[in-house]
């Protein structure tokens, strides 16, 4: 029946073909030093990834804040980059976190249950007190510590990637982060890399 109204036509959009994988896919594990941006370009007074890895065709899969250290994955494989960095895959990220003060079990349980941030509740996390990491390199510049306030190390594992999430989580329970090191992303681990050092691993999902 013709109602006199223009008929809307619906069409199925064709799925975009996925990009072909590179002939020689690479996955580089880098221990990003403190103060370095997670990108290859920046202003003259900024430190970047340029010169840290001897490849010009890899790009970060995810980010790590300038004032954070540790594991950064770089790849030339767009599909792998998406799987590592996209939130829907909920890849676990492990952090070693030096915090001001010593959290109580109740405070740690808040992290495990989820804490309220300004962009909503976090997903439940793993959180426990740990010893200082073995063979920990000195940070340059050193962490500013207050002699009158103790500090401790936490291991925190999350499956989200909000902006500065771990720092905001520890602040929410009253224990500001002094130093933040990412030790693992999924199955990939820092495992002995010193700041600025890198290694290649098979780019297998």
Active site residues: 65
Dihedral sign (CA 30, 96, 87, 84) = positive
Q: Residues with Cβ < 8 Å from 44, sequence gap 6 or more?
A: none
How many whole angstroms separate alpha carbon 128 and alpha carbon 96? 10
Q: Residues with Cβ < 8 Å from 123, sequence gap 6 or more?
A: 114, 158, 159, 160
């Amino acid at each position: 029946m013709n109602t006199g109204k223009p008929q809307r036509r619906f069409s199925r959009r064709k799925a975009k073909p996925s990009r072909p994988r590179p002939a020689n896919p690479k996955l580089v594990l880098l221990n990003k030093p403190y103060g370095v941006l997670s990108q290859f370009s920046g202003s003259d007074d900024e430190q970047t990834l340029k010169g840290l890895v001897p490849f010009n065709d890899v790009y970060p899969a995810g980010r790590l804040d300038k004032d954070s250290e540790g594991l950064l994955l770089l790849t030339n494989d767009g599909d792998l980059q998406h799987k590592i960095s996209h939130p829907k895959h909920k890849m676990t990220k492990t952090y070693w976190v030096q915090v001001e003060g010593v959290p109580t079990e109740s405070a740690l349980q808040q992290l495990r249950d989820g804490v309220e941030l300004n962009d909503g509740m976090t997903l439940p996390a793993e959180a426990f007190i740990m010893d200082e990491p073995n063979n920990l390199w000195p940070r340059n510049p050193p962490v500013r510590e207050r002699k009158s306030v103790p500090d401790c190390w936490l291991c925190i594992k999350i499956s989200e990637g909000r902006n500065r999430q771990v720092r905001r989580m520890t602040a929410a329970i009253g224990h500001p982060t002094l130093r933040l090191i990412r030790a693992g992303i999924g199955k990939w681990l820092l495992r002995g890399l010193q700041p600025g050092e890198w290694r290649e691993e098979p780019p297998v999902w």
